[in-house]
Amino acid sequence: MAERETHESDYVPYFLHKGKYPGALGWLLATDHKRIGLLYLACIATFFSVAVIIGVIMRINMLPGHVILTAQQYNAAFTLHGIIMVFLVVIPAVPTIFGNFFLPILIGGRDMIFPRLNLFTWYLFVLGAVLALVSVFFGGGAVDTGWTFYVPFSLKTTVNVPLAVFAVFILGMSSILTGINIVTTVHQLRAPGMGFFRMPLSVWGFYATAWVQILATPIIGITMLLVVMERLFGIGVFDPAKGGDPLLYQHLFWIYSHPAVYIMILPAMGVISDIFPVFSRKNIYGYKMIAFSSLAIASVGSLVWGHHMYVSGQSDTAGIIFSLLTFLVAVPSAIKVFNWLATMYKGSIQVEPPFLYALSFIFLFSIGGLTGLFLGALSPNVQLHNTYFVVAHFHYVIFGGMGFGLAAAVHYWFPKMTGKMYNKPLSVVAWLVVFVGFNIFYFPMFILGWEGMPRRYYDYLPQFATLHQVASIGSFIMVAGLVLVAGNLLRGLVAGARAPANPWGGATLEWTLPSPPGQEDFEEIPVITHGPYEFDKKESGA
Amino acid sequence: MATSTGVVDGALIYILAMSVLLLFLIVFFMIYFAVRYRASRNPVPSELPESPLIEAIWVIVPTLLVTTMFIYGLTGFRFLRSAPANSLVVKVYARQWSWLFEYDNGKKSADLIVPLGKNVRCELISADVIHGFYVPAFRIQQDAVPGLATYAWFNATTMGSYYILCSQYCGRRHSAMIAKLIVVPPDQFEAWRQGKKIEFTGASYANMPAGERLLYERGCVSCHSLEDNKMMGPPFKGLFGSQVVVTTAGVQRTVVADSAYIHKSIVDPGADIVSGFPNTMPPSKDVVSEDEIGRIISYLKGLK
Ligand SMILES: [Cu+2]
Ligand SMILES: [Cu+2]
């Protein structure tokens, strides 16, 4: 496919394009998928920073002898950290930022199929975030239930639970609509010749995720509404004092919240599947296997929620079935890792910054996944449930997996989105600091949990002091690294060198566009004649 | 330690060993490929034809491996979930934010005292929110859910004192909801259970005056200060005989905190709600007897 050069006559970068509305309105009323992607990016980056700061405050509090919060403030802190990270950052990030920006381009369309609906999801997202924020300051104080809102505690506590869970309901609506938009776009807007098996694997990731968003999110929405009604009108669905069932709440909560883990990780795995071939200059090994394993994870993954409840009082038989299914869903994830490694075999590998993040993704995600086997197994779970082991496990999966996947995506697509290049040596240094800090931060938590340190503890027994101290120090290193990463990217945005159209030599459609793309993406809708990872071999080392 | 300790550790160490092996292989190949096939050394990549055999191996080997883990976990779980019929039964009352253990003869204790080498079945009861009964050293954990009967069991194999922690988040003093599990020789246990006064080493509230000790043992002090600072509930210092503003069935009135009032506040805390405080005090009729309420009241009388 011929590369279009940036000097073409009518080309204007999308962010300079003059639309119907001038200035800020041009952004706030934008229906262009790229602008909406950036609107999401701005919000999510802000929320992420807030949640990281709350996290650091908690880590300072856990330093031996540095108590700076009251117990109530600490409980509110981990609740807010969880709510913000889960509902405002991790679940939406990859689909809304990169799904919006790149999905239409990757399949050769010009926009999402429902552009105004797309903008509406952003407003719902902002509304949900504002409600969550308001709930912190009004009506009884910041929620102290943990992001899981377990009943009956969430029915009894005096803080503003109704508003906070209502915010989650609104965020869920946003997520469902995004899912519908993505599924429909993939079905309707693929360019001529772009069969399902010519789609880049990132598109498969977005697609599988979108189905989970559509099917699972209504359950959390309704559950949250039931909590509101229980609090306001005492309807007695969950409250045992009124004949309700607290375990019913846990089932409903996890029926959504376990699949939510896949909403978090699948799109990141998709992006990783795009990055491996590019930097190995080789077709992905086992395209169909990876695509189908995404679907397998999305479907079997919706049947394993009870692994959060082995010791909750659910029936032992249920626990046994959930454990078996949990182990089966581990297999497609393992397959993906093997496929990525096989893609490197006999490749021509360039370890550029995005690939560095992709490789560390595999390392961290593997640790996260393997420790998931401890928790999926019945008897070890009885020991490790609700301890720091779990905290470490999901931070390895979500931050190490999804987070590093997101960072890989940022470093991969940054030149395309901005038309600029960040400083590569500095980005390697920043990566190293984050990576080292991350492991010093979270690895000790596995040991803490194994030794019996429960999670959500404001205070701890003296024997846990040393490892808590190590973890806190690690967190400071990691955050310093995050600041470096952000600083380097911002510097690149303002003062970076101009990026060429195809800096990494990728073969997917976004690299056929100028960096940054123009308003219409494609002047002419391309006709697809080959798969997404068929590189020009001689061009190796671009 | 207990018999369950070894059972759980076996499965855990098996999974650990397999995981370390897998992680090692993954990292090894990742680094090896990145170095061996770096662009400067291998400028022209060669495509690898897809091999159904390799792919079948990738599916079958991990599936078999995780099946062994599942089975190992399952056998341990079966063990943990089947308390022998001859077990000593202890009722465990979990409440915000304390534990109370009651033996079959009605003997109550703030620490779980158990005989060495006997099967002990803990029946978990919660009066308010969900708590987690967690003994790290014995590798056992089970939630206490209001309105649902749950249990955990163990057989202690070494003497000593171990922590009982609350593992299910339950509010402000969740991390302080700690009791001791003390394993003692069976004859001493039996004497103690029959009412003989023995202070076991490691007991939580040893050497405390009787009235005060009761407030500690029954968890009252996690909400009520014996000084005059406000915690979750009103402070106890100077309470007896003072004027208290309360809401009774929606109507505000002022009452004198006499014996009858305090008695009612303990058995039916929702009846008179002290103004400025939420109605969160758990009903205490299960955990304090009439006789004990009397002792609490006379202690409060003296707390000026
Ligand atoms: Cu799960
Ligand atoms: Cu607790």
pLDDT at residue A137 in the model: 85
pLDDT at residue A82 in the model: 95
Do B44 and A537 form a contact (C-beta atoms < 8 A)?
yes
The alpha carbon dihedral of A324, A326, A330, A331 has a sign of positive
Provide the CATH number for the domain around residue B113.
2.60.40.420
pLDDT at residue A298 in the model: 85
Taking an 8 Å cut-off on Cβ atoms, the answer to whether A380 and B280 are in contact is no
Distance from CA of B43 to the nearest CA of A (A): 5
CA of B209 to the centre of ligand 2 (A): 27
Taking an 8 Å cut-off on Cβ atoms, the answer to whether A379 and B150 are in contact is no
Taking an 8 Å cut-off on Cβ atoms, the answer to whether B145 and A247 are in contact is yes
Among A111, A2, A100, which Cα is nearest to A527's?
A2
- Helix A246-280 vs helix A287-300: angle between axes, to the nearest 10 degrees? 170
Are B197 and B121 within one domain?
A: yes
Q: Mean pLDDT across the stretch A201-225?
A: 94
A94/A86 Cα distance (integer angstroms): 13
Which parts of chain B have pLDDT scores under 70?
A: none
Give CA angle at B120 (B116, B121), nearest 5°: 170
Taking an 8 Å cut-off on Cβ atoms, the answer to whether B142 and A246 are in contact is no
Q: How many domains does chain A have?
A: 1
Helix (H, G, I), strand (E, B) or coil at B135: strand
Residue with tokens 């994870």: A297
Residue A29 belongs to some domain of the structure: yes
Distances (CA, A) of A58 to A62, A468, B174: 6, 11, 16
A254-275 pLDDT, tens per residue?
A: 999 999 988 889 999 999 999 9
Which of B22, B55, B73 is nearest residue A377 as measured by Cβ atoms?
A: B73
Structural domain including A372 reads 25-275+296-540
B102-132 pLDDT, tens per residue?
A: 999 989 999 999 999 999 999 999 988 999 9
> Which H/E stretch holds residue A362?
helix A353-376
pLDDT level of residue A145 (50, 70, 90 thresholds): very high
Are B130 and B151 within one domain?
A: yes
Which residues touch A437 (CB under 8 Å, ≥6 apart)? A474, A475, A476, A477, A478, A479, A480, A481
Say which DSSP state A455 is in.
S
Do B92 and B161 form a contact (C-beta atoms < 8 A)?
no
Distances (CA, A) of A270 to A207, A326, A330, A448, B49: 10, 21, 17, 33, 22
Q: Mean pLDDT across the stretch A302-331?
A: 94
Which residues touch B226 (CB under 8 Å, ≥6 apart)? B212, B215, B235, B236, B237, B303
Provide the CATH number for the domain around residue B216.
1.10.760.10
Distance from CA of B47 to the nearest CA of A (A): 6
Are B103 and B179 within one domain?
A: yes
CA of A318 to the centre of ligand 1 (A): 15
A60-73 pLDDT, tens per residue?
A: 999 988 889 999 99
User: For residue A190, which amino acid is it?
Assistant: R
Distance from CA of A459 to the nearest CA of B (A): 6
pLDDT greater than 50 at residue A276? yes
Taking an 8 Å cut-off on Cβ atoms, the answer to whether B175 and A366 are in contact is no
In B, minimum Cα distance to A338 occurs at B58
> How far from chain centre, in Å, is Cα B43?
60
Q: How many domains does chain B have?
A: 3
Give the ligand whose atoms come closest to the C-alpha of residue A250: 1
In A, minimum Cα distance to B62 occurs at A331
Residue A427 belongs to some domain of the structure: yes
In a 13 Å sphere around the CA of A317, the CA atoms on its Cβ side amount to 0
The residues facing B125 across adjacent strands are: B93
From chain B, the residues in CB contact with A320 under 8 A are 74, 77
Distances (CA, A) of A189 to A95, A112, A185, A262: 17, 8, 5, 25
Among A183, A41, A189, which Cα is nearest to A106's?
A189
B250/A157 Cα distance (integer angstroms): 20
Distance from CA of A533 to the nearest CA of B (A): 11
End-to-end CA distance of chain A: 16
Helix (H, G, I), strand (E, B) or coil at A314: coil
Distance from CA of A177 to the nearest CA of B (A): 33
Q: Which of B188, B207, B226 is the last residue of a domain?
A: B207
Dihedrals phi, psi of B162, to nearest 5 degrees = -125, 160
**Where do the DSSP E strands lie in A79-178?**
none
From chain A, the residues in CB contact with B147 under 8 A are 240-241, 245-246
From chain B, the residues in CB contact with A245 under 8 A are 147
Tokens (6 digits) for B304: 């000026």
> How far from chain centre, in Å, is Cα A240?
35
pLDDT level of residue A3 (50, 70, 90 thresholds): very low
Which of B8, B55, B130 is nearest residue A382 as measured by Cβ atoms?
A: B8
pLDDT at residue B229 in the model: 82
Residues with CB under 5 A from ligand 1 (ion): A 258
Instruction: Indicate the burial class of A135 (C-beta count within 10 angstroms; 0-12, 13-18, 19 or more).
Output: buried
From chain B, the residues in CB contact with A456 under 8 A are 169, 174-175
Helix (H, G, I), strand (E, B) or coil at B94: strand
Give the ligand whose atoms come closest to the C-alpha of residue A390: 1
pLDDT at residue B217 in the model: 86
B253/B236 Cα distance (integer angstroms): 20
Among B193, B187, B167, which Cα is nearest to B178's?
B167
Say which DSSP state A161 is in.
H
Among A360, A354, A204, A365, which Cα is nearest to A290's?
A204
CA of A457 to the centre of ligand 2 (A): 9
Chains A and B form CB pairs within 8 A to the count of 258
Among B117, B116, B115, B154, which Cα is nearest to B133's?
B154
pLDDT greater than 50 at residue A513? yes
Provide the CATH number for the domain around residue B62.
1.10.287
From chain A, the residues in CB contact with B62 under 8 A are 330-331, 334-335
Among B50, B45, B136, B125, which Cα is nearest to B91's?
B125
From chain A, the residues in CB contact with B280 under 8 A are 156, 158
Task: Say yes or no: ipTM exceeds 0.95.
Answer: no
Give the ligand whose atoms come closest to the C-alpha of residue A265: 1
Residues with CB under 5 A from ligand 2 (ion): B 131, 166, 170, 174, 177
In a 13 Å sphere around the CA of A424, the CA atoms on its Cβ side amount to 13
Taking an 8 Å cut-off on Cβ atoms, the answer to whether B45 and A347 are in contact is yes
User: For residue A419, which amino acid is it?
Assistant: G
CA of A319 to the centre of ligand 1 (A): 13
Taking an 8 Å cut-off on Cβ atoms, the answer to whether A452 and B165 are in contact is yes
Give CA angle at A207 (A206, A212), nearest 5°: 95
User: For residue A416, which amino acid is it?
Assistant: K
pLDDT at residue A454 in the model: 96
Residue A17 belongs to some domain of the structure: no
Residue A481 belongs to some domain of the structure: yes
Distances (CA, A) of B162 to A387, A451, B179: 17, 13, 9
Q: Which of B64, B80, B96 is the last residue of a domain?
A: B80
From chain A, the residues in CB contact with B172 under 8 A are 71-72, 75, 144
Distance from CA of A407 to the nearest CA of B (A): 19
Helix (H, G, I), strand (E, B) or coil at A506: coil
Are B189 and B109 within one domain?
A: yes
A438/A399 Cα distance (integer angstroms): 9
Provide the CATH number for the domain around residue A170.
1.20.210.10
Among A82, A90, A240, which Cα is nearest to A153's?
A240
**Where do the DSSP E strands lie in B71-192?**
88-95, 98-103, 108-109, 112-115, 119-126, 131-135, 140-144, 150-155, 160-166, 179-184
pLDDT at residue A14 in the model: 86
Are B58 and B129 within one domain?
A: no
Test mutation, B130, B138, B139, B273, chain A, max A CBs within 10 A: B130
Helix (H, G, I), strand (E, B) or coil at B131: strand
Which residues touch B260 (CB under 8 Å, ≥6 apart)? none
Give the ligand whose atoms come closest to the C-alpha of residue A297: 1
Taking an 8 Å cut-off on Cβ atoms, the answer to whether B45 and A144 are in contact is no
CA of A401 to the centre of ligand 1 (A): 15
Taking an 8 Å cut-off on Cβ atoms, the answer to whether A341 and B30 are in contact is yes
Q: Which of B207, B234, B254 is the last residue of a domain?
A: B207
pLDDT at residue A159 in the model: 86
Distance from CA of A391 to the nearest CA of B (A): 13
A352/A337 Cα distance (integer angstroms): 20
Distance from CA of A460 to the nearest CA of B (A): 7
Tokens (6 digits) for A349: 């590998």
pLDDT at residue A9 in the model: 56
Omega of the bond leading into A152 within 30 degrees of 0 (cis):
yes
Q: Mean pLDDT across the stretch A274-300?
A: 90
pLDDT at residue A284 in the model: 92
Test mutation, A329, A383, A463, chain B, max B CBs within 10 A: A383
**Sheet with strand B112-115: strands edge to edge:** B112-115, B179-184, B160-166, B131-135, B140-144
pLDDT level of residue A536 (50, 70, 90 thresholds): low
Pairing of strands B119-126, B88-95: parallel
Structural domain including B41 reads 4-80
pLDDT greater than 70 at residue A539? no
Distances (CA, A) of A48 to A84, A91, A440: 7, 12, 21
Are B191 and B126 within one domain?
A: yes
Largest CA distance in chain B: 92
